[in-house]
Amino acid sequence: MAGSLVVKLLLPPPPSCNPPSLQPSPPSPSPSSRPSSAHSFASHNGSLSSGCNGHCCLSSDSDTRHWRIRVIMGPCRWKYCGCPQGNCVTDSPGQVENCDECAHPMAYHEEYATPEPTAILAPPVPMKFPPAQIFNIPDINLPVAERTELVMEIFERLEHFAIVRINGTPASGKTTLMSLLIRHLMNNPEDHKLIYVLIGWAPNKVESVGGWAKYLEEQTGVNGFNWINHPGYLFVDEAQQTYGDQEVWAGLFKAVSSTSRCRVVLFTSYGSPNKGSEGFFVPRFRQTPMTFDPAQQISLNPDQTVIPDFKPVGLLLNEHESLNLIGHFMKDRLSSIFTGDISEDFKRGVWQVSQGHVGLIISFCEVLGRLQKLRPYRHSDLHWQIICAVVFKEPAVLFERIKGSQFARGLPSCDVLQEPAVARVLKEAVLSPRGLNKLSYVEGTPEYQALYYIWRNGWLHAQAIGTNIEYVFPTDFHKWFCACVFNPADSETQPLPYQSPLHLAIEVVKRFNPHQLSEPKRAFNRDTSPLEDQYGKEFYRCIDEILRGRILVSPEFAIDYGTQSGSLDFYISDMKWGIELLRDNDRISEHLNRFEPGGQYHRLVQENNMKQWIVLNLTTKRPSKKQTGDCGRLYHVVFTNNFRSFEILHADLELESAFSLLENHSHLFLS
């Protein structure tokens, strides 16, 4: 029957009513004396004996009278499953069992067809299915980015590793991706594995039932220690909640390998790029933390190191996926508000602002539909220039609207931003385009704890750069939000006392601390990543002292180049100035070309959003080659005398100015 499960069980009737073939064997000293009509389960070898009336067979131990029941059902009703007959052995008819042939629940099989009942029918026993087991395709809010390439790549990696972690900040599309993976499985005729979904990991409940293995048994019907050999998919959403349960990591996740029958997908909102556990503090548990292969993880951005074995994929939508989602969303959700055409430059602008962050795309478009100042444009074609002119000029209004959207889960609240240590760390992150490193802070200090807190909440995202881990804003929009919060409200009424970006840069370098630059481990360690570069860190620190938070990079100026998005190192919005840093004569021509036609920053110049700009080359090696052509905006900052002095040289190596640096002094007199 399609609507219910009816299991026909042959119960042991009184001896006078039993058919001869079903009479229990009398006690006998040896198995050889048992009548041939009584069949033990071992003799069946997975199939029915002809002497079992084609239905059920009971066997017992005459001493213990312990009955085992073989249940036979009809064909499996699981989509595309070709199992012709359900078959399992159980100790209790009320116990949830899976078919020995296809591994699907016996409840998903049709009633066993028999012309006439051959025995007494037991009353139907209600079956209890594991709460985590999935039988129906999950509902997905439309429109949705199908993420076909990402979905297929995840399953490809599951075939190699059997366990994969999806790590992304809040509202980055992890839960929707899980639904897409489940939908693919249930529509796939070649995969009949069972599907289970756990939402989070409740430590109190895990402890109350006797540990992780019992908890998995309660939720999935399979004891945790048996999961490795269970033919099923286990999806764990909010799996960062398991980080504190080292037993489930040691007992299950670390034990899963390519030879395991199970497949495990963990969705986490934060985590170390290479460790299974948190990876921030020194391990507090004796178990060795799980180390993930780079290909076992999917993060926000594609990891190019997996090439050529795997395709680099990430949670952030690519350009094609973003443009499609934006177009469909505006048409399906906002067509009654914006009745004109949605231009390609609008869709491309939203993509550049969001950098493919699906939660930001949806929330940003929803906010546009509610903004009062866009009402005059609702019946005309929507262009990105309108958004730049109306929306980004009043960021406070935009952020106030964003607070009520799903994307707000990925932004720190005002209360959090008022915590001094949190504010200091996020402020430094705003000033550090290449990210922060926990080694920059002394363990146990408020800033070290604040970075940990910020990372755990997903406001900064951890990513691996070589052997280092850096903490960066998930998108430029996250960075812009924090920059606007820390930007003084009266900045527009206080003009900067500098005539050009060069004069500003000179004042910044004059505040450098030579001790910070000359310390050997920092100045000359070529194994350190760019974020450990003391030139840049000193520049970030000192320009903040001068501008006092007036460095603002708006997503209006997001630049797209290849597979990356970024912005100038420094954009001073009040003056429309730009400053680009390079170090030790590295790729001078490339940095200069970014401002030329066809370059990444040329749009800012072309649209008069950047009136003046310079490129600073910070180095200890005096350049020997003059830069010819239009290089008037290139300046070399050459440090000498163990960083106690510096010279500013023009592109043609002519001296602009020279200064000595002071050590262990206050900068107050420079303010």
- Return the pLDDT at 127: 53
Query: Higher-confidence residue: 378 or 8?
Result: 378
Torsion of CA 583, 587, 589, 595, to 10 degrees: -70
Give 438-463 pLDDT, tens digit per residue: 777 888 899 988 998 898 888 888 88
Helix (H) or strand (E) run with residue 177 in it: helix 174-187
Sheet holding 58-60, edge to edge: 58-60, 67-72, 87-90
Residue 651 and residue 626 in contact, taking contact as beta carbons nearer than 8 Å: yes
Residue 359 above 90 pLDDT? yes
Give me the helix-helix angle, 446-456 and 420-430, nearest 10°: 70
Considering 4-13, 42-51, 407-416, 571-580, the range whose residues carry the highest mean pLDDT is 407-416
Rounded Cα distance between 390 and 376, Å, is 11
3-state secondary structure of 572: strand
Query: Higher-confidence residue: 534 or 28?
Result: 534
- Burial of 45: CB neighbours in 10 Å, binned 0-12, 13-18, 19+: exposed
Q: Is the dihedral of CA 206, 212, 213, 216 positive or negative?
A: positive
pTM of the model: 0.65
Residue 295 above 80 pLDDT? yes
CA geometry: angle 342, 344, 346, nearest 5 deg: 65
DSSP symbol at 98: B
Residue 553 above 70 pLDDT? no
- Return the pLDDT at 491: 46
Token output for 627: 């830069």
In the structure, what pLDDT confidence band is assigned to residue 106 with cuts at 50, 70 and 90? confident
Using alpha carbons, select from 13, 212, 19, 6 the residue that is nearest to residue 107: 6
Mean pLDDT of 336-353: 90
Residue 133 pairs in a beta bridge with 196
Residue type, 146: E
* Cα separation values, 532 from 281, 302, 433, 434, 454, Å: 20, 23, 12, 9, 20
* Cα separation values, 657 from 212, 464, 642, Å: 68, 40, 18
In the structure, what pLDDT confidence band is assigned to residue 579 with cuts at 50, 70 and 90? confident
Query: Higher-confidence residue: 567 or 560?
Result: 567
Token output for 601: 């920053």
- Return the pLDDT at 235: 98
Residue 156 above 70 pLDDT? yes
